[in-house]
Amino acid sequence: MNTPVSVLLFGITRDLTGQSALSVPVGEGARVCDLLDQLYQAYPPLAGIKSLLVAVNGEYAETDQVLGSKDEIALIPPVSGG
């Protein structure tokens, strides 16, 4: 059964999708890498971002982290500045 997770988008990820947040259905046992694959299929330009970080519930996550239905995910693109 698929349950939606909330995905917050910042910087270039927001620009490429045209949205600041998405609700993405994921299956039970889905991992961060599975979510990213779904997002890359729905929004192919996202796949071109180098060094894209993912945070789950406010903490950086590895791609093999399992997602839960109550998790809040944030896509954090590279930041430049000085």
Element containing residue 74 per DSSP (H, E): strand 72-76
At position 2, the amino acid (one-letter code) is: N
User: Rounded to whole angstroms, how far apart are CA atoms 3 and 23?
Assistant: 9
pLDDT of amino acid 69: 84
pLDDT of amino acid 81: 58
**67: in domain:** yes
User: What does the pLDDT look like over 10-66, one tens digit per residue?
Assistant: 999 999 999 999 999 999 999 999 999 999 999 999 999 988 999 999 999 999 999
Looking at the structure of the chain, the number of domains it has is 1
| Structural domain of 45 | 2-76
**12: in domain:** yes
**25: in domain:** yes
pLDDT of amino acid 22: 95
**pTM of this structure:** 0.90
CATH of the domain at 70: 3.10.20.30
Q: Tell whether the model's pLDDT for residue 1 goes beyond 80.
A: no
pLDDT of amino acid 53: 94
